Amino acid sequence: MMRWFTSLFAVVLLGILPQFALAAETAKPTNERQALRAPHSEAKADAKDAHAAGEHHGLPPAAPVFNLGPLKFTSSTVITWLVALGLIVFAQLATRNIQMVPSGLQNFAEWLVESMYDFFTEILGKELVKKTFWFFCTLFLFILFTNWIGLIPGVGSITYDGKPILRGGNADLNMTLAMSLTFFFLWTVWSLQALGPGGIAKHLFSGGDNGKGFMNLFMMGIFFFVGIIEVISIAFRPVSLSFRLYGNIFAGENILESMMVLIPWLGWLLPLPFYFLELLVGLVQALVFALLTSVFTALMCAHHDEGHGDDHAHGEQKHAH
């Protein structure tokens, strides 16, 4: 349970960090900000004229900012706090009175955790899943309920001065990037624990037995080139993960908002099919994010851990004989 709480705290905390850059930008002197924004003044004026004329341009990509003392946060951060608090409260209620024959919330929680444990075991293996399940399970649940809470009527649709008061947590690139960077950090730690620096280099740049003579040198060059490409791919994983989740959730918000204003007198009916579609998209995107991150981990660490587990088992059998 403490691991779940730690994971939620880390994800939400990292989601806050990008706000300080936003606060620093806002804190610049007025004259400097006006000078930086001067080239865009005409475009903003045109946008205001279009809004006054009744044209529709969709939801803005940036979530509204509010002040909490000297700190500045986006409204999407509030959504992530609510989701994290809800998951922590649910976990506490489900485990406060453990029974041998589960019922109610405990029964549902055990079914959910066991199902996800079996799912990730198929990907990660029996040894690696013991080390990493706490993170992937929390990540899936956190993304899922953050996606779904963003579909509650009023989130994204209630506006003030033409801007939505609340935005879905994953419709903010700050949040999705924070989760991706958290995974990348843990992936690095797990990889170093499983392989070590030399093992990682061998995994990336070595193809095993490359023959002898010229063929050996030729294959070493090929695998070195492929390793460079793999390193670039690994470095871009946080970017691809964050933009995939952000793009799908932000696009879904815009579709729902567009359907609401497309035909005003049908604003209550047109979004309904897309609303249920977004419920499915929220589930699929949470599953895709958790699946990709677990597969990336398994590709680097799983075979080594499984081999280590097999060696340990064989050692115990030999000792028993």
Query: What per-residue confidence (pLDDT) applies to 215?
Result: 67
Task: Report the distance separating Cα 184 and Cα 235, nearest Å.
Answer: 9
Q: Work out the percent of the chain whose per-residue pLDDT is above 70.
A: 70
Ramachandran area for residue 115 (φ above 0: left; ψ -120 to 50: alpha; else beta): alpha
Q: Which of 5-14, 62-71, 78-87, 299-308 has the lowest mean pLDDT?
A: 5-14
Query: What per-residue confidence (pLDDT) applies to 108?
Result: 92
pLDDT digits (tens, 9 = 90+) for 217-242: 777 778 788 888 888 999 999 999 99
- Residue 145: pLDDT over 90: yes
Please name the helix (run of DSSP H) or strand (run of DSSP E) that holds residue 115, with its range, or none. helix 104-124
Q: Are 135 and 211 in contact (CB under 8 A)?
A: no
Mean pLDDT for the stretch of residues 183-188: 95
Q: State whether residue 119 is helix, strand or coil.
A: helix
DSSP secondary structure string for all residues of 156-196:
TT-EETTEES---GGGSHHHHHHHHHHHHHHHHHHHHHHHH
Q: Which of 18, 152, 34 is nearest to 72 (CA)?
A: 18
- Whole-number average pLDDT of the chain: 76
Query: What per-residue confidence (pLDDT) applies to 303?
Result: 59
Query: What per-residue confidence (pLDDT) applies to 118?
Result: 94
If pLDDT is split at 50, 70 and 90, which confidence band does 21 have? Answer: very low
Query: What per-residue confidence (pLDDT) applies to 51?
Result: 43
Q: Which residue has the higher pLDDT, 32 or 111?
A: 111
Query: What per-residue confidence (pLDDT) applies to 200?
Result: 83
Q: Which of 117-121, 217-221, 255-259, 292-296 has the lowest mean pLDDT?
A: 217-221
DSSP secondary structure string for all residues of 223-263:
HHHHHHHHHHHHHHHHHHHHHHHHHHHHHHHHHHHHHHHHS
Name the pTM for this structure: 0.74
Q: Which residue has the higher pLDDT, 207 or 53?
A: 207
pLDDT digits (tens, 9 = 90+) for 34-92: 444 444 444 344 444 444 444 445 667 767 777 777 877 787 888 899 999 999 999 99
Q: How far is CA 250 from the centre of its chain?
A: 14
Query: What per-residue confidence (pLDDT) applies to 154?
Result: 75
Q: Are 182 and 14 in contact (CB under 8 A)?
A: yes
Q: Which of 101-110, 140-149, 150-159 ranks highest by mean pLDDT?
A: 140-149
Q: Which residue has the higher pLDDT, 137 or 4?
A: 137
Q: Which of 62-66, 144-148, 155-159 ranks highest by mean pLDDT?
A: 144-148
Q: Which residue has the higher pLDDT, 120 or 44?
A: 120
Mean pLDDT for the stretch of residues 189-202: 88
Query: What per-residue confidence (pLDDT) applies to 180?
Result: 95
